[in-house]
Amino acid sequence: ETGVTQTPRHLVMGMTNKKSLKCEQHLGHNAMYWYKQSAKKPLELMFVYSLEERVENNSVPSRFSPECPNSSHLFLHLHTLQPEDSALYLCASSQEGGFNYGYTFGSGTRLTVV
């Protein structure tokens, strides 16, 4: 596998469920990100990890909990979500902060909360 891989591609969950999204990068990058993408809105940065340390948390509700066990893997744990959390969740990686070479994104997880 190359690039950034996200699983699952699609997820439907009830508001009382607990689920996790997984991201793996095979690029040797040292920073990883979670983004939320909703229709007709700019990408919303949720979490940034650099060298496995959280760099930024953009006031994301506590029902979203990230985990970065090593520089290649990133998880987003979900619990008691709301219908408005339905969106495409994208994982990305970069070398350092992406200033020079940009971000490499995964294909995303399409999340539907019912």
- Tokens 């996790």 belong to residue: 20
End-to-end CA distance of the chain: 32
Binding to another protein by CB under 8 A, coded x per residue (else -) over 22-61, reads ---------x--------xxxx----x-x----xx-----
Contact residue for another protein among 25, 85, 104, 111 (CB under 8 A): 104
Q: Which is nearer to another protein, 14 or 97 (CB)?
A: 97
93 binds another protein (CB under 8 A): no
Using CA atoms, how far apart are residues 44 and 41, in angstroms rounded to an integer?
A: 8
The residues with which 84 forms a beta bridge, in sequence order, are none
User: CA 97, CA 32: separation in Å to the nearest integer?
Assistant: 9
Q: Which residues in 57-86 contact another protein (CB under 8 A)?
A: none
Among 8, 14, 61, 102, the residue binding another protein under the rule CB under 8 A is 102
Binding positions for another protein, rule: CB under 8 A: 4, 31, 40-43, 48, 50, 55-56, 90, 92, 96-108
